[in-house]
Amino acid sequence: MNKMSVKDLKDLKGKKVLVRCDFNVPMKDGVITDENRILGALPTIKYLLEKGARVTLCSHMGKPHSIFSDEVKLNKKDLKKVEDGETTAEAIIEKAKKDEPKKLTLAPVAKRLSELLDGKVKFAKDVIGPDATAKRDALKDGEAVLLENLRFHWEEEKKDEKFCKALAHDAEIYVNDAFGTAHRSHASTAAIVEYGIIKTAVCGFLIEKELEVMADTLENPKRPFVAILGGAKVSDKLNVISNLLEKCDTLIIGGGMAYTFLKAKGCEVGKSLLDEEKIGYCKEMIEKAESAGKELLLPVDTVVTDRFPDPIDAEIDTETVACDKIPADKMGMDIGPETCKLYASRIAKAKSVIWNGPMGVFENPTLAKGTIAVAKALADVYGKCTTIIGGGDSAAAVQQLGFADKMTHISTGGGASLELFEGKILPGIACLNDKK
């Protein structure tokens, strides 16, 4: 994808730049528990500050919808309190409206950014209000301000044009460095450029790397090209499966979605997760692979249990059976050892691999062996093969298992990666200026 990046901009000194970041970081009691997304944004921010730009940073945090909606779904714990007469649904909603701005504020992110950037980042307590306006107007060359959570305004997700104009303020340049939201068509991710409010629009270093590695691998892969898909449901990855079958040499299927494919081949799958409505689609994909001369690999053995673990990391009894001999009262929860060997053998021969979705219930130590085996196989080909982890659970698994430094690229966006794998044009990328 031939899009302009911050490197293509000339003479940034004194220029007012609006940067869309992804600071939607996990927090507990106001403390950031994983700052990878903050660290990922630093190269772009540092570059702009060093060039003397006046930088406004913006991001969302969570989904604070109850601030402007009474249509709040209560969780089981809250429903029990209502049923027991301890409180009312209305009281819980009102409390959420007061608490969410405190829980989902970007203030801790601003504090951490200021520490990392020698105090050059201030925090605005609003997005388009008086504090944001004053602090943006007061910026000097090489300084930055982070606005409060964009989603505190309903207009962000509704692409409201008036909100876009206020968010742009007097910015001359727009930089998108939030790949995790590039598949969203919101005010700050696309509309602010689509409406023509800011005409110079480029990507930051983070998105540039995502496009260089992922998009280029999908379009011009070194072969053999192996794609690995896991996760729960076939319906979540319909277009991904079809598109990857046209591009890769081998498509490996694991996770809960494998059992619908096995059912399509005539295997009984017991109580395993099954997308009944997608059995026909799976048959079509099996036939598509055969007619195109592509290899579509399914598990040959599986780890089964008699129930889903509760809590998810609880100890649980398992047995390993062939995939055509799953007992009627058992459910498949992970790929078996023979499947691990089969999948690893294809990875070992590959020159390009993309992976999205775990092979089993990897949150449970007993049911994580398949996911570990795939991650290890990818680590083993480090330096000899381009290995791309498509965000989401796969990225979390690789990080948790300690293999992150043995991967060519770990995407910062699960949903965005999937849509890229589908062959879709992402709104947050499409709106950027093409290189001349």
Q: How confident is the model at residue 292, as a pLDDT? A: 96
Q: How confident is the model at residue 345, as a pLDDT? A: 98
Residue 17 lies in a domain: yes
Q: How confident is the model at residue 66, as a pLDDT? A: 57
Exactly one of 392, 413, 414, 428 is catalytic; name it. 392
For residue 40, indicate whether it is catalytic: no
Q: How confident is the model at residue 244, as a pLDDT? A: 94
Same domain for 134 and 170: yes
Tokens of 341: 């060997």
Q: How confident is the model at residue 111, as a pLDDT? A: 96
Domain count, the chain: 2
Sheet holding 331-335, edge to edge: 319-322, 301-305, 331-335
Same domain for 355 and 279: yes
Exactly one of 233, 283, 288, 351 is catalytic; name it. 233
Q: How confident is the model at residue 2, as a pLDDT? A: 86
Q: How confident is the model at residue 436, as a pLDDT? A: 82
For residue 20, indicate whether it is catalytic: no
Same domain for 193 and 164: yes
Q: How confident is the model at residue 392, as a pLDDT? A: 77
Q: How confident is the model at residue 71, as a pLDDT? A: 52
For 159-226, the DSSP string reads T-HHHHHHHHTT-SEEEE--GGGTT---IIIIIHHHTTSS-EEEE-HHHHHHIIIIIHHHHS--SSEE
- Extract the residue ranges of the chain whose pLDDT is less than 50: none
Same domain for 30 and 126: yes
Same domain for 388 and 291: yes
What CATH code is carried by the domain that includes residue 168?
Answer: 3.40.50.1260
Q: How confident is the model at residue 414, as a pLDDT? A: 78
For residue 415, indicate whether it is catalytic: yes
For residue 392, indicate whether it is catalytic: yes
Q: How confident is the model at residue 73, as a pLDDT? A: 60
Exactly one of 3, 16, 37, 346 is catalytic; name it. 37
Looking at residue 385, the DSSP 8-state letter turns out to be B
Contact 186, 157 (CB under 8 A): yes
Exactly one of 125, 415, 423, 424 is catalytic; name it. 415
Same domain for 196 and 262: no
Residue 85 lies in a domain: no
Same domain for 313 and 344: yes
Same domain for 242 and 153: no
Residue 24's domain comprises: 6-64+104-209
Q: How confident is the model at residue 65, as a pLDDT? A: 62
Residue 377 lies in a domain: yes
Same domain for 352 and 317: yes
